[in-house]
Structure 1
Amino acid sequence: MPKIFTNKKFLVAAGVVLILLLFLLWGRKSRGPISSHQVYTVTTGDITAKLHLSGTIQPLYSADVASLIDGRIKEALVKDGDRVEKGQLLIRLSEEDLISKLETDRSKYLDAKVKLNEVLNWENSPTYVNSKSQLETARLEYEEKDKTYNQNVQLYKSKAISKHDLDTSRLELERARANLAGAQAQFADVVAKGNQDAVQKARSEFIAMEIAFQMSQAALAHKEILAPYTGIVSVKRQSSTLMGQVEKSLSENRNVTAGEILMTIDDQSHLTVDVQVDEFDIFRVHSDQPVSITIPALPKEKFTGKVVSISEMGSETGNTYNVRCQLDNPSPRLKVGMSAHVEIPLEEKKGVLLVPVSALVKSQGQYGVYLLGGKEPRFQPVQVGITSDTSAEITQGLAAGQKILRYIPVGLAEGG
């Protein structure tokens, strides 16, 4: 009985070869004849390279509205989302509180002024004159008691007065000496209150009170908060009663502090879109460069604009630069925060060889197209210039009039 060859490795290899042969035959047959819509005739034309970027609609001008003074809201005349005109009254602060503070500061200022004048003319002040007078009275009394005591000592020696009278005279002298010492100490303290340190302290207190008084006077001029320009109100203050929620209005009788931001006014007559441009493209973008802008939420409307600013510093998260584009024709339907797509034309060429982007294929690192003219399409290497959404410039490898495949059919091997 003949021996049947049953080497498993050989059978597996033979099966793989058979499958590959069938796949190649199927691929050639599956391509079939090339239809006319698959053929593209290389021609010349114009092409523009563009950047396609995304961003959001933002106001060009946006101002924080803050209270310039401490106060209490008497009337809040606008709420979140309101449209206001330049100079429109937004908030009125309580005038009663401001007047009360003004009177308090006025009183402190006048007291400080009197004190400074008194220190500057200290030797003529009632305090100084009175203290000096008391010192002189104490000195005269002491001199009189001392003279009397000395006389009594002589009288006692001559037995003209008693020991009791002498002791009484000595006590009066000691009391007068104590009074003189007290008057001298008090006068020294009074004199010190008029020295340079005292003058400097009084002057500093006066200046502080004067500034406070002037600020209170000026505060009355800032009791009304006005809109800096026409725009939409966005309340910024955080609610103290609703934790984590931003309040949409400013309630009356709420205290505010100087410098506190209460709202933002967005001027929606001048809108922009900020986009991030890669470092390799940023040198091809310049100010006043025209742009096209589309809004996904408004697909039927087209907008134009221009580049108005280019950041000098790259972003922290990547090698991109912020480019601000301003809309030429903002529509009332546009809203801050809407998504936007921006096209920035980078380079335009006229009368160059063009092929569809769909015709390009890359084989072993080399771009090319499939050239027609033989039995089978053959891979033709090309040099590619600038590209647009649909076309590519060919700088080398093709000539006008040559025919190529517009699309690469399934089964056509790259470079084959």
Structure 2
Amino acid sequence: MWSRIGLIAVLILIFGSLLAFSQLRHEPLKVSGYIEAEDIRLGSRVGGRIAEVLADEGDRVQKGQVLVRLEPFDLKEQLAAAKAERDDKQALLDKLNAGYRTEEVAQAKAKVDQLTSRLEKLVNGPRKQEIDAARAELRMASSQLELAQANFKREKEVFEKGAGTQERMDSVADLLREAESNSEVKQNNLSLLVEGTRKEEIAEARAALAEATEQYELMKSGYRKEEVAQAAAAVAAATANVAAIEKRIEELDIVAPSDSIVEALELEPGDLMPANAPMLTLIDPNKLWVRAYVPENHLNISLGQKLPITVDSYDQEFQGEITFIARNAEFTPNNVQTPEERSKQVYRIKVTLLDGLDKLRSGMAADVWLEPRK
């Protein structure tokens, strides 16, 4: 009996000692949170019908790899039309920069020379030789007229005596009229030559020469700077339009921006996707972190500080580095005047994992140890 009492007393002593030890032992401080990863939600700024799906959920993809391809619809035709318009604008700009052709300038110069000669001829008037020739022609015409008048008079006298014929009379009458007309023409020609060129003709010739000279100088100088600038602006606008359409065509291929893992992809060829809508989600496996919350009374931590991290799935520690500490408290109570209440304030921290990236996954519960574990 006494032995049983002694055993009970020993057990009570052992349990009491364990209880006292557990109360005296200090548990290292830790905060709990969840592992998160950087989600990349990909889409297209143009949208359209799905042509090909080139990846599956869980695939590891490389930077630049095409994951989804959209049908081009009429973008290729738009690009061809835009390039044709750009080439047309460029051709016009090249023409303006090159100026007029040599043959065109030479033709304009020849016209100036021709009109200059004509003006000089009009200003100088008829030459003396031309006037003398006109006087000689007038004298000859006058002689022919006198001869025709004498013949007509003689035939008339013969006809009136009854010895002539009507046919002969008509013939000499025609010759007389012809001689009179010819004499009048020669007289007028001489008068014009003696009077000289009319002022209106000289003024008209001067105006034509001035116009031709301006055209010649314009061709020598080339096109105006404003015209060239306008054409250059048109080329720039057409080039920008081509670039915009080419960018839209690039958006038909949804590519991975970095080495990552396909997390969510629910597309089939033929599906219609709106513009700027997420089509699939990628996860960057090389960047994981723990989101946790630290009470205000344990905020004696700093950026760059290394901390151990544990998860339920693995019986090992992983290393993390504090890369973010929030400046604003969360879950703040209404009354923060007493120390007890202030300890309820928490601040979000971000602890980036330095190892274990091949084992750990987004969504795992994790503990961040603010004090060394024993």
With normalisation by structure 2, the TM-score equals 0.52
Please give the alpha-carbon distance, in whole angstroms, between the structure 2 residues aligned to 1:253 and 1:42. 69
* Partner of residue 42, structure 2: 65
Residues 165 and 149 (structure 1 numbering): CA distance in 2 closer, same or farther, change over 3 Å?
farther
Shift of 1:86: 0.7
Please give the alpha-carbon distance, in whole angstroms, between the structure 2 residues aligned to 1:199 and 1:212. 20
* Partner of residue 178, structure 1: 207
Contact kept, 8 Å, 1:72 with 1:94, in 2: the verdict is yes
Unaligned runs of 5+ in 2: 1-11, 132-186, 333-345
* Partner of residue 68, structure 2: 91
1:100 to 70, 74, 77: 77
Moved more, 321-330 or 271-280: 321-330
Alignment of structure 1 residues 329-368 onto 2, 5 Å: 342-348=366-372
Could you say which structure has the higher strand fraction?
Answer: 1
| SS of residue paired to 2:121 | helix
Please give the alpha-carbon distance, in whole angstroms, between the structure 1 residues aligned to 2:191 and 2:281. 97
Contact kept, 8 Å, 1:153 with 1:166, in 2: the verdict is no
Shift of 1:290: 1.5
| SS of residue paired to 1:48 | coil
Residues 278 and 185 (structure 1 numbering): CA distance in 2 closer, same or farther, change over 3 Å?
farther
Contact kept, 8 Å, 2:50 with 2:268, in 1: the verdict is no
Please give the alpha-carbon distance, in whole angstroms, between the structure 1 residues aligned to 2:307 and 2:373. 17
Residues 280 and 226 (structure 1 numbering): CA distance in 2 closer, same or farther, change over 3 Å?
same
Residues 73 and 324 (structure 1 numbering): CA distance in 2 closer, same or farther, change over 3 Å?
farther
Alignment of structure 1 residues 297-376 onto 2, 5 Å: 305-311=318-324, 314-315=327-328, 320-326=347-353, 328=356, 342-348=366-372
Please give the alpha-carbon distance, in whole angstroms, between the structure 1 residues aligned to 2:296 and 2:43. 38
* Partner of residue 307, structure 2: 289
Contact kept, 8 Å, 2:307 with 2:322, in 1: the verdict is no
Please give the alpha-carbon distance, in whole angstroms, between the structure 2 residues aligned to 1:129 and 1:71. 54
Shift of 1:144: 0.4
* Partner of residue 133, structure 1: 107
Contact kept, 8 Å, 1:288 with 1:306, in 2: the verdict is yes
Residues 5-25 of structure 1, C-alpha deviations (whole Å, 9 max, x = no match): xxxxxxxxxxxxxxxxxxxxx
| SS of residue paired to 2:80 | helix
* Partner of residue 276, structure 1: 293
Please give the alpha-carbon distance, in whole angstroms, between the structure 1 residues aligned to 2:325 and 2:73. 50
Residues 214 and 349 (structure 1 numbering): CA distance in 2 closer, same or farther, change over 3 Å?
closer
Residues 38-85 of structure 1, C-alpha deviations (whole Å, 9 max, x = no match): 96664487533213344x4422x4334355x86855515279x94444
Residues 354-413 of structure 1, C-alpha deviations (whole Å, 9 max, x = no match): xxxxxxxxxxxxxxxxxxxxxxxxxxxxxxxxxxxxxxxxxxxxxxxxxxxxxxxxxxxx
Unaligned runs of 5+ in 1: 1-34, 236-246, 295-299, 351-416
Please give the alpha-carbon distance, in whole angstroms, between the structure 1 residues aligned to 2:50 and 2:127. 84
Please give the alpha-carbon distance, in whole angstroms, between the structure 1 residues aligned to 2:292 and 2:299. 11
| SS of residue paired to 1:180 | helix
Residues 276 and 135 (structure 1 numbering): CA distance in 2 closer, same or farther, change over 3 Å?
farther
2:118 to 136, 144, 159: 144
Shift of 1:289: 1.7
Shift of 1:151: 1.1
Please give the alpha-carbon distance, in whole angstroms, between the structure 2 residues aligned to 1:190 and 1:71. 52
Shift of 1:111: 3.5
Shift of 1:277: 2.8
Residues 103-129 of structure 1, C-alpha deviations (whole Å, 9 max, x = no match): 33443444454444434432xx33x75
Please give the alpha-carbon distance, in whole angstroms, between the structure 2 residues aligned to 1:120 and 1:222. 36
Please give the alpha-carbon distance, in whole angstroms, between the structure 2 residues aligned to 1:183 and 1:130. 13
Contact kept, 8 Å, 1:78 with 1:249, in 2: the verdict is no
Residues 109 and 166 (structure 1 numbering): CA distance in 2 closer, same or farther, change over 3 Å?
farther
| SS of residue paired to 2:61 | coil
Residues 86 and 137 (structure 1 numbering): CA distance in 2 closer, same or farther, change over 3 Å?
same
Contact kept, 8 Å, 1:138 with 1:176, in 2: the verdict is no
Alignment of structure 1 residues 247-286 onto 2, 5 Å: 256=275, 263-267=280-284, 271-278=288-295, 280-284=297-301
Amino acid at match of 1:311: F
Amino acid at match of 1:322: I
Amino acid at match of 1:289: L
Superposition RMSD in Å: 5.4
Amino acid at match of 2:349: N
Shift of 1:137: 0.7
* Partner of residue 50, structure 1: 29
Residues 138-197 of structure 1, C-alpha deviations (whole Å, 9 max, x = no match): 452254045225416997xx9855679979955544443333343344455555654666
Number of aligned pairs? 286
Among all aligned residue pairs of Structure 1 and Structure 2, give the percentage whose two residues are the same amino acid. Answer: 14
